[in-house]
Structure 1
Amino acid sequence: MNLIYIHGLDSDANSTKGLLLEKYCQQHHPDITVLRPDLNKSPAQVREQLLSLIEGLNNSQDEQTGSSNTVLVGSSLGGYFSTLISNQIDCPALLLNPSTQPHITLQRFSDNSASNQDSSDESSDNKVLHTTAGGWRITPSDLQWFADHQLSEVHYPKKIAVLLKQGDELLNAELSQAFYQGQGASVTVQAGGDHRFSDFGEQLPMVIEMLRELVRS
């Protein structure tokens, strides 16, 4: 099995959860390969990079075993991209505190930019509104892309599992729960916690079983 860890907004290929997942699989599940691509680029580029990566992995697996077992693990904004990709190609995905409305939540960068700049500087679609910790330079074009690619449904709900923390301080867990449960996906809500899923390492045995179940579905 191949796992592609899709990091969130202010993260990169060396995210804590991605590294924990990779180390755990190396020690306890050598049959699982974890890939951690850096996705600090425009959303259109992220989607194309992930689709290309999955296609390459699946083609390689098909040649070797006659089957393809690639699963996405998406955190926060990575959960949004995982759902988008799953909708497009029927790929299993486990979502951790997923973002469901980046076209709304990321609008804060546009609002901050407007309040800090003269109106004469606000017309360019390519101006930088915010630079993430990983180096993604967010522009108005990126925000428009999210507005044009809103999540309105889950095409393959049996291929989606969601882990939510009620204590998520950045995203509305109830909103995510309502969306994915309403679409028929499996949703597990855990009390307390935080957006970063600080106890992720402790939950890895359960996470691996959930991933294997998604592949079997």
Structure 2
Amino acid sequence: MNLIYLHGLDSDANATKGKLLSEYCQQHYPSITVIRPDLNMSPPEVVKKVTALINESPKETLLVGSSLGGYFATYLSNQLDTPALLINPSIQPHISLQRFSDSAHHSNTSKDHVIYTTSGGWQMTQADLEWFAAHPLTEVTYPKRVCAVIKSGDELLDAQLSAKFYQKHGAQVIIQTGGDHRFSDFAQHLPTLLPIMLA
């Protein structure tokens, strides 16, 4: 099996959770190849890149997506019937990322105007927000293939909203009390989370 880790907004291929997954699988699941692509690019480019990784794989692929990576994992799972484990997933990036547009200077209203540059180097534009708005998550097409793990103490995203969305569409939802958006105790939960998706 291939496991593709989809990192969040201000992250990259060396994301802490991605590296923890690599180390854990090397130790406990040596047959799993962990792939950690850099997704600091426009949303359509992310979709194209990860779709190619899934389609090129001779083995089944598991997506593990954190935050904005959780949005992409859900989107791609819906498109390709790929199993997905979601960590504090973003379900409305066109709304949650609007904070950058609101704080940007409006003297330049061009769609190509950069409203935020991530730590990984993606220059987010108004056109990117419009892409997210045009591709909302409205369903979970293969709910039995999806598990969302959500910290109730997420300070960045609305944990209740995310939980309700996945529950409504029949996906498995694990709500953990407290915690934070970064899912700081990710390592200690890997022994219970990965087997859920590998069963």
TM-score range, shorter chain: over 0.9
Write out aligned runs for 1:26-65 (5 A).
Answer: 26-57=26-57, 61=58
Choose from 169, 190, 194 the match for 2:180. 194
The alignment's TM-score, normalised by the length of structure 1, stands at 0.90
Is 1:133 the counterpart of 2:116 in the alignment? no
Is 1:165 the counterpart of 2:151 in the alignment? yes
The alignment's TM-score, normalised by the length of structure 2, stands at 0.98
Is 1:90 the counterpart of 2:76 in the alignment? no
Write out aligned runs for 1:6-155 (5 A).
Answer: 6-57=6-57, 61=58, 68-113=59-104, 116-118=105-107, 121-122=108-109, 124-155=110-141
Q: Which runs of 4+ in 1 moved over 4 A?
A: none
The percentage of counterpart residues that share the same residue type is 59
CA distance in 2, matches of 1:133, 1:207: 28
Give SS of 1:73's match.
strand
1:76 maps to amino acid? S
Two-structure CA RMSD over aligned residues (Å): 0.8
Give the CA deviation at 1:27.
1.4
1:163-208 per-residue CA deviation (whole Å, 9 max, x = no partner) reads: 0000100001000000000000000000010000100011111122
Give SS of 1:155's match.
coil
1:90-138 per-residue CA deviation (whole Å, 9 max, x = no partner) reads: 000000000000010011111111xx343xx22x111110000111000
In the other structure, the counterpart of 2:2 is: 2
Give SS of 2:75's match.
helix
1:53-94 per-residue CA deviation (whole Å, 9 max, x = no partner) reads: 10111xxx2xxxxxx321000000000000100000100000
Aligned length: 199
CA distance in 2, matches of 1:19, 1:43: 23
CA distance in 2, matches of 1:93, 1:126: 32
In the other structure, the counterpart of 1:184 is: 170
CA distance in 1, matches of 2:174, 2:6: 19
In the other structure, the counterpart of 1:205 is: 191
Q: Which ranges of structure 1 fall in alignment gaps of 5 or more residues?
A: 62-67
Q: Which has the higher Rg, Structure 1 or Structure 2?
A: 1
1:18 maps to amino acid? G
